[in-house]
Chain A
Amino acid sequence: MGEPQGGTTQTTELVDRARRGDETAFRRLVERHRDRIYRQALVQTGDADDAEDVTQEVLVRLHLGLAGFRSESKFETWLFTLTRNAAADFRSKQNRPRNLAARMRELGGGEDGVASDPTGRLEASLIGDQVRAFLAQLSERQRTVLDLVDLQDYPTSEVAQMLGMRPVTVRTHLMRARRVLREELLGREQTKGERQGGM
């Protein structure tokens, strides 16, 4: 899952040691995977503070549940599910359905929520809030699929397994996600081109 073979072997070893109560191994395991947990939480929740909370919750569940991890499944896949569940639980506890369009306006600025100069934004490299604002245009599932397939290069079949979907469903979400983001981008590029052409 996106990690070199040597790294995977080491993870297995760390997991075994951590399960036996080795705190150093547990720490190294967390050190290695925390950024990934956070990223997944961020993609799912769309909010940095929420992602921070979810990441912390995953660490607690890792403490409590590592002993129950069955090594016949891949640790990274197990961790992905743990994070996904933690994010879902967090959202249901918060009991506040996120209005993504509102988030987009809040984060991105501009009349319909996306920063008003896409070319300048791309040149400056999308980071932080702007990345989140762009992703906020997608549903949670579309964000997750787009992140895994297009941004992290996971094979569709593996993503299907991770999300408990059929590969064709993954492809459908991916196509929709791409279309939403790219049509938005190209529509703005075109509008800008027309404005410049008319001047």
Chain B
Amino acid sequence: MECERMLEIIVEADPETLEDGLSGNGEHAGHLKSCPGCADAARAVLALNASLVEGLAAEKPSTPLDRALRAAAAEAERRGTADRRRLWRGLVPLAAAASVAGLLAIRSVGISPDGLPGEAYQPIEMTARATATEVGISAPEGTNVAMFRTPNPDIVVYWFYERGEGR
């Protein structure tokens, strides 16, 4: 085998292949044994690999673990609070929209030809009181439901949401 071909192999070969060749095993052992130049090249490549393994293994973060953990916990808490605030800010307009939609739905049910949901049920009139500012919102801790109370005690909107995964 020519040295040019051997060098082509050396620049792409698995480290194990080069190790085998240098230790007298495998298909390249013959050339590496008889050609000091190619053997040196193979050894240099293996030395580079070993140095990179050693060098990267020695790389460690400089921040002490305790400080890193405390900082991470504080930042996670800060972001969690901010996320909750954002969630509530997003829910207020949704609550307004939901309450208006609910009122409209009740109204349309009231004029349906079937007379559903029963004669006892009286349709209501839309009034200026049914505004977002009068929607009471509560979300029991530990649940994934928010409850919107409208000015009409007969209408309560439940909003089920998925918990965020922290990203």
- Enumerate chain A interface residues (CB-CB to B < 8 A): 26-27, 30-31, 34-35, 38-39, 42-43, 48, 51-52, 55-56, 59-65, 67-68, 118-119, 121-122, 125-128, 130-131, 134-135, 147, 150-151, 175, 178-179, 181-183, 185-186, 189
Contact = CB atoms under 8 A, between A and B. Distances in A.
Main secondary structure of the interface of B (DSSP, over half): helix
Interface of B: 7, 10-15, 40-41, 44-45, 47-49, 51-56, 58-63, 65, 68-69, 71-73, 75-76, 79-80, 165-167
15 contacts: A55-B61, A60-B76, A62-B72, A64-B79, A64-B167, A65-B166, A67-B165, A68-B166, A126-B48, A126-B51, A130-B55, A131-B55, A150-B14, A150-B49, A150-B52
Main secondary structure of the interface of A (DSSP, over half): helix
A110 B98 CA distance: 68
A65 B40 contact: no
8 pairs of A and B residues whose beta carbons are closest in the complex: A64-B166, A131-B55, A68-B165, A63-B76, A59-B72, A126-B51, A65-B166, A182-B11
A42 B59 CA distance: 9
Contact of B59 (A61, A131, A150, A183): A131
B55 A127 contact: yes
A127 B54 contact: yes
A34 B44 CA distance: 32
Contacts of A27: 65, 69
A138 B59 CA distance: 19
A182 B10 contact: yes
B49 A59 contact: no
